[in-house]
Structure 1
Amino acid sequence: MKYSVLDLAPVPEGADAATALRNTGELARHAEALGYHRYWLAEHHNMKGIASAATAVLIGHVAGLTQRIRVGAGGIMLPNHAPLAVAEQFGTLATLYPGRIDLGLGRAPGGDMAVMRALRLRQDAGDRFPDDVAELMGYFGPEMPGAVVSAHPGQGTNVPLWMLGSSLYGAQVAAHFGLPYAFASHFAPAALEQAAEIYRQKFQPSDHLQKPHFMLAVNVFAADTDAKGVRLRSSMQQAFYRLRTGQPGQLPRPVDRIEDVIPAANLGAVNEALRITAVGSPATVRRQLTELIARHQPDEVILTGQIHDHAARMRSFEIAAGAMRNLDTGLVA
């Protein structure tokens, strides 16, 4: 099974964006050496703890630092951009790095109402999403005779499109267009089972894809022992809690007891949102990944994990790659 990386270029407490971007480059090269198939970066805005706001720019940087791994967006929030501009950006990337660029599309703005105003977005910007997807697909296909507007670069590059989602809406759009579908189960698993079922049942074969292709997103916090893995996870738990309570910031340092920093009334909700997670020693992570894959039957897995210490993050993805290479195939089958 192919396994990939989703990176938000986290900015750890005590560091800055330059450090985060340098860490992303190092992790991308490490992931390529470890056999990861894709390296995706996500669009978020107005967040001090995330340095991947200019996603297409960072994708170009990562593609230039690597040689074989596919690099792409997980994803570009399409309502924030004109389809032509996205086609030109990713057409340029695909021309520079042929056969290596992916474009995942999301419908959310990647920020709050203040961000939407700063991006000059109308509140109904997402209502045109299916039409915008269709327009974008046209820009990547063969140039149409008589077309008034074409994407150059872009036309004829056939950049592979993915649909992203955390609800049933994305599943239906992906099925309608016959596109592969990546579900944001790493932070919004409530609709995971239903979304996967709708996508598979309603999928319409297309020139892009003949049968459904479903990607499961999983948080991984792997270390030499279970206790160390649990401690690594505490940074993301804190970050998620702070975001949900209107206190976003840089990625917090880990703590020994998460109960000391997140109120009991909130911790259950945080852990439920982050329940699609493998955490602990190599053996524990392998077992948990095997169980998640056996339950949800994805065609592909994308791994993420916001870890404060860069060396520990590199090690976590190394352990995770070993686990994916050595899944308990009997249980998965």
Structure 2
Amino acid sequence: MKLTLTILSVFLLVITIGAPPVVENVNKNKPNAESKTDESDEVLNNLEYGRYLKEVVEILENDPEFKKQIENASMDDIKSGNIAQHLNLVQHHVRTKLDEAKQREMSRLRDLVGQKIRNLSEKERLDLARADPNGKHLKDFLPSHIDHKNSESFNEADLERLIQHASKDLDEIDREREKEFKDYEMRKEYERRAKLAHMDEEERKKTEALHQEALEKKKHHAKVNHPGSVDQMEEVWEDVDHLEADQFNPKAFFKLHDTNSDGFLDIAEIEAIMLKEAEKIHENAPEADPVEKQEEMDRMREHVMKEFDKNHDYMLSFQEFELGINGTNAKNDQGWQ
């Protein structure tokens, strides 16, 4: 599972987006490793090549030498696909399983390309035949996560393409999430104004006044701690974990919120720590919106990861966590906008 998390760390942002609502009391509702695996499965299943990616990762997990290379690799080496150069270290039976997985994927892709061509209109098929009599442009129909030049064996190019394709998809999904939130906010404002347009003048003035009042109340929320500051962690320790404030211990806090006990704080676990701060802004507002609260947690989590995650693996070790909360960028006097 550790190897899966390492290779698939490029998917952790996506997993967080699709994760269930964060619970307040981590002591009472600790998610187990199985639930996190289910979240990973859901993300992978939404990818066109997700089943193949998952199968390759599971096969590579069974090779101790390659697993060691992955765990010692930098995130840059993984995301760039450079880790593929170590594929020659895997055992023969593992390589055989990779070959078989690729052959199954090639068969699936042939069926997929055939279906795409069958879905073309007769005119489109004729145009394609005239423009490409030798079939050179058929490669445009082929997904790029696999090396099509070698249909029999799984090689370095296959692993490199697969990882690079996954990294590219993550970036695209992340941009799509941000766009969807902006679209949501625009749609929400449009619908609000549309409702106002159907009101008489008195009702419209009253509704608009309530809306402005809600906006003002939202501005005057309780003080929000700077995400990642010691003050924030101490407040979670006291108010969420229900422990004595003067007994705050970073290592104990880290272990308590490492809910799957893997020695790291992943994106979902960090987001759970941000919940209390997001609630200060959104929970008690007259027009409280759970979508906006989730976006606030996303922003806070992204900020903490940007400041703390030195090796860019989308997880925090205790060393990164401890350095982060004691760093100059985590001072509470910076507030939060």
TM-score (norm 1): 0.22
TM-score (norm 2): 0.22
Larger Rg: 2
* Structure having the larger proportion of residues in strand: 1
Larger relative contact order, structure 1 or 2 (CA cutoff 8 Å, min sep 6): 2
* Structure having the larger proportion of residues in helix: 2
